[in-house]
Structure 1
Amino acid sequence: MKPEIPVQSVPLNRQMITISVMLATVIQTLDSTIANVALPHMQGSLSASADQITWVLTSYIVAAAIATPLTGWMCDRFTQKRVFLASVAGFTIASLLCGVSLSLGEIVVARLLQGMFGAALVPLSQAVLLEINPPAKRGSAMAMWGMGVMVGPILGPSLGGWLTDSYDWRWVFFINLPIGAMAFYGIWRYIRPTKATRLMRFDVFGFATLSLAIGALQMLLDRGQDNDWLNSLETWIELVIFVVAAAYFIVHTLFTPAQQAFVDFRLLKNGNFITGLMFIFIVGAVLYAVRALTPPMLQTLMDYPVMAAGLLMAPSGVGTMVSMLLVGRLVGKVDSRLLLFSGFSITAVSLWAMSGYTLTLSQSDILWPGVVQGFGLGLVFVPLSTVTFSTLEPAMFAQGTALYSLVRNIGSSIGISLVQTLWVRNTQVAHSSLAETLSATNRAIQLQDTAGYQLGSTAGLAALNGEVTRQAAMIAYLDDFKLMLGLTLLVLPLLWLIKPKKTKLSPEEEAALHAAMD
């Protein structure tokens, strides 16, 4: 089958387009984690409680989750370039509003806007790179895109900590302004204008039910631990809304013609795409769950300052970049299933090492598993992105990439909520188990008394209880790392569900495609 060659009169500057869309990707992915370390500073500045300040994170996550599925319809209605420009401009202006906010209400509204406008940036950047590159070069393109998606969340805490300590928490938002301006100019200047196809009708009922389902799920996952899960009326309300809205959406979409439904179910008939969604869900859960666990472990149990903990996490991004540069050259030449198997296996090795952590870790003990894990996830991300979209029609890229990003984000939310819940409960279980072994006749307790705990005093007993709590918390962290290890190993047999598509073109087809694109 001969490739479909677009006819365009405007010269294509692939390099500048790549730089521009990557800048847009970086500001969005950075903001998923960069504000986390600044929350205590925001809390004091905005006179908010510890519970209230978390809305700075929740509002962004919920808004982005709800707006992401709109990407495909908006591109169909207004063209990809216009949606991209509006998203970058809106995200940049919302970042400015976040930085100048003087109250909790102002910054929550600004973060809602930031999430709404930023939702399309990652799927659109992926769709653009898929479209401007011939099949033989899409592996390298996905490597570049993957670096922005994966390195952003990794570097976010380090950069956020440095900006907050050196300047002010407002700079975690102001840093987006110059990057957003450069991205806007590049997209406006170099991406070719197209005509809106307007083939998709806006499915109001489908969008409303999907938005309710996603919003309720995100709220449930974000606030479930604080609300003690099903012991809270709020959690039950969110769970009921999610189940009912999701059921209505599925039934409605199944009985709606493909071009009239909000989500085109033809996507879900593509085997590679479905398998890709399943794997990116796992990648999202493992990547973000581990990122959520490690910094608090270093800070609370090993007394690392925020900045130092962030710097210890940063080298994993180096491993990711190295592996993506390498695998971008291998995609199309090596069976994608072999690359994915290698990536998941290497990630499993790093998680195995982390499951053996102790409270007396050296910096090298923390660094090398992070670098290895970054390398493994980089090997997974590029071939997975390439294979997922290898059998999709170009016209379905925008909606497909939006769904791909949505599933990755839901995976990360579920992963983070799961490990945090298990950590709290396993800490309590481990504390009870350790406490049962403590008695006055226990030789270890007698040694602790001679070591300065003074167990005959209230202060001594409190110090001993603090040490038991510390040990119990470490056991709970290890249990979470073992869970991530098991999850990673369980997906390995499923790799054979993927059917790699040959992308080798004839010399005539390759020459014609390059001539048209260049």
Structure 2
Amino acid sequence: AIPITGWLSDRVGSRNLFLWSTVGFVIASAMCGMAQNLEQMVVFRIFQGICAAFMNPLSQTVMLDINPPERQAKAMAIWGMGIMVGPILGPVIGGWLTDNFNWRWVFFVNLPLGAICVAILWWLLPSRPVRRRPFDLFGFALLAIGISALQLMLDRGQGEDWFGSTEIWIEMLVAMVALWMFVVHMATAKHPMFERALWRNANLVTAMFFMLVIGVVMMATMALLPPMLQNLYGHSVFDTGILLMPRGFGVVLTMAISARLIQRGMDPRILVGLGMVLAAYSLWQMTHWSLEMGTWPVIVSGFVQGLGMGLVFMPLNGMAFATLAPHQRTEGASLINLARNIGASVGISLVTTILARSIQQSHAALVPNITAQNLGTIDPNLLQMLGGSGDAVLAMANAEINRQAAMIGYLNDFYAMAILTALSVPLVIFLRKPKGPMEKPDPAAAGH
């Protein structure tokens, strides 16, 4: 749904699309909470995802449209803070609701908040002029097929032994062919799905690459940490959410600071580069975690990573949108959000594969080190409590090997993400500093 946000917004009006997508999201949340089986949950979640797909790019566009150029940096910072409230409070509220009530309340909690949002949008949301333009059905079909095949390959790769499976090869080939045809179509079509001027915009394209990396780092980290903290360290769902909150606080803090610095004339490219360095450093810190550590390293590394992401997020969006004409903003926001979502899918698949392979290899490497001669040195007190039972001792040894192997797998994931983040820092050289505050480009350059 994200790629058609720009066209649909032009066709029915951004106000109507924003309102109805919010209403649909609230209804889908209620249906998810009332789901009686897995099949219903999958259908309702798809409906919820379609509605949610329009909300991010539309909200970003609205914030730019209602603010003059000199206030757009501050507006983007406020928007970014709002976007980060969910990741900050979501795990905590979700954990508390699950522990004290029922998992269904994770969805029902959206109903009163959603109703308030709909009322505010109905009252205050401005409308944009409707633009009639042809829908690029062929381009949309190619992009949908390519992304769907890529998503299937990433989701099923680990379970199907990746390229040892014919299915994965087919999905990869379909994705490559469809996406290549989409690129050719964008370059040759009379009415392409996205304006060709968008692909010639260095800031927008570079921002998409950065968002791809941010999607990998942020979403993969958020996917790894909850099971790690719960399974290896024994934290509850609620405590895990509390431990992850400093990451969001760091994002909010540096978003506010970066907006002020940019308003005072600081080069936003410096902030983006510094932010990526901080994010890479935080991941390097995480490679030194151990099973014996306390909670402080989790808090510190999460906060540092949040500081880095906040420094990247707002200046990067500001530079990308400063070079877009107003009518291009929704499509630009759609492309940036699409890149981030693809990065999240790739990142989660990547870290899941590294984790599973590392656990298998580490377990196989650690088992030969456990012998009859050193088995008794594991924990004499525990051995005495077990009464010398051979099966119990072996089970205890295997459980400890599993913990150590899992920890090695998580550390390998952190290494991979740290390297990827560090390698992305030089992309800053492709960004161009806008000549003025959120400068509006020449309308002549906005054509196809």
- TM-score by structure 1 length? 0.80
- Matched AA of 2:198: L
The secondary structure found in structure 1 opposite 2:195 is coil
1:501 matched to 2:434? The reply is yes
State the 1:135 CA deviation.
2.1
Q: Is the CA contact (8 Å cut-off) linking 1:154 and 1:291 kept in structure 2?
A: no
**Quick one: distance in 2 between partners of 1:81 and 1:342?**
37
Q: Aligned ranges for residues 7-22 of structure 1 at < 5 Å?
A: none
Choose from 364, 369, 382 the match for 2:296: 364
Unaligned runs of 5+ in 1: 1-66, 510-518
Q: Distance in 2 between matches of 1:505 and 1:184?
A: 29
User: 1:151 touches 1:320 (CA, 8 Å); kept in 2?
Assistant: no
Does the 8 Å CA contact 2:321/2:438 hold for their aligned counterparts?
no
Shift of 1:380: 1.0
Assess if the C-alpha contact under 8 Å between 1:68 and 1:120 holds in 2: yes
**Distance in 1 of aligned mates of 2:250 and 2:102:** 30
1:343 aligns with 2:275: yes
Q: 1:357: how far off?
A: 0.3
**How far apart are the structure 1 equivalents of 2:141 and 2:214?**
28
Q: Which amino acid aligns with 2:253?
A: V
TM-aligned CA deviation for residue 271 of structure 1: 0.6
Distance 1:253 1:266 in 2: 11
Letter in 2 for 1:448: I
Q: CA deviation at 1:231?
A: 3.5
1:412 aligns with 2:341: no
Q: Which runs of 4+ in 1 moved over 4 A?
A: 453-456
Contact residue 343 and residue 377 of structure 1 kept, 8 A: yes
Instruction: Name the residue aligned to 1:281.
Output: 212
Matched, 1:225 2:155: no
Counterpart Cα distance in 1 of 2:291 and 2:398:
16
Instruction: Read off the aligned partner of 2:244 and give its amino acid letter.
Output: M
- CA distance in structure 2 between the partners assigned to 1:451 and 1:167 by the alignment: 39
User: What residue number does 1:490 align with?
Assistant: 423
Residues 316 and 370 in structure 1, CA contact (< 8 A), matched pair in contact too: yes
Letter in 2 for 1:393: A
State the partner residue of 2:186.
Answer: 253
Q: Which amino acid in 2 is paired with 1:264?
A: E
- Contact 1:336 1:383 (8 Å CA) reproduced: yes
- Per the TM alignment, residue 121 of structure 1 is displaced from its structure 2 partner at its CA by 0.1
1:505 to partner: Cα distance: 9.5
- Structure 1 residue 446 displacement after superposition: 4.6
Q: Distance in 1 between matches of 2:367 and 2:180?
A: 46
Q: 1:224 to 1:154 in 2, by over 3 A?
A: farther
Deviations 1:309-359 (A, max 9, x none): 122112221121111121121124211111112212222222122110000
State which of 343, 358, 361 in structure 2 corresponds to 1:429: 361
Task: Give 1:500 deviation, angstroms.
Answer: 0.9
Report the counterpart of residue 36 of structure 1 in structure 2.
none
Pair 1:504–1:379, CA change in 2 (3 A): closer
Task: Give SS of 1:156's match.
Answer: helix
Residue of 41, 60, 72 corresponding to 1:126: 60
> Partner residue of 1:209?
142
Matched with 1:163 is 97
In structure 1, the partner of 2:114 is 180
In 2, Cα distance between equivalents of 1:110 and 1:505 = 39
The separation in 2 between residues aligned to 1:231 and 1:155, in whole angstroms, is: 41
Deviation at 1:234, TM superposition (A): 4.0
Are 2:401 and 1:468 aligned? yes
The residue number in structure 2 matching 1:307 is 238
Residue aligning to 2:287? 355
Counterpart for residue 402 of structure 1? 334
Sort the Cα spacing of 1:157 and 1:226 in 2 relative to 1 into closer, same or farther, 3 A. farther
Deviation per residue, 1:3-25 (Å, 9 max, x gap): xxxxxxxxxxxxxxxxxxxxxxx
Q: Provide the alpha-carbon RMSD of the alignment.
A: 2.1
Q: Is the 8 A contact 1:285 1:414 kept in 2?
A: yes
* Consecutive unaligned residues in structure 2, runs of 5 or more: 441-448
CA distance in 2, matches of 1:311, 1:223: 32
User: Hey, what does 2:446 align to over in structure 1?
Assistant: none
Partner amino acid for 2:221? V
**How far apart in 1 are the matches of 2:137 and 2:438?**
42
Q: What one-letter code is carried by the residue in structure 2 that aligns with 1:196?
A: V
- 1:244 and 2:177 correspond: yes
Check the 8 A contact 1:87/1:117 in 2, yes or no: yes
Say whether residues 1:135 and 2:76 are aligned partners: no
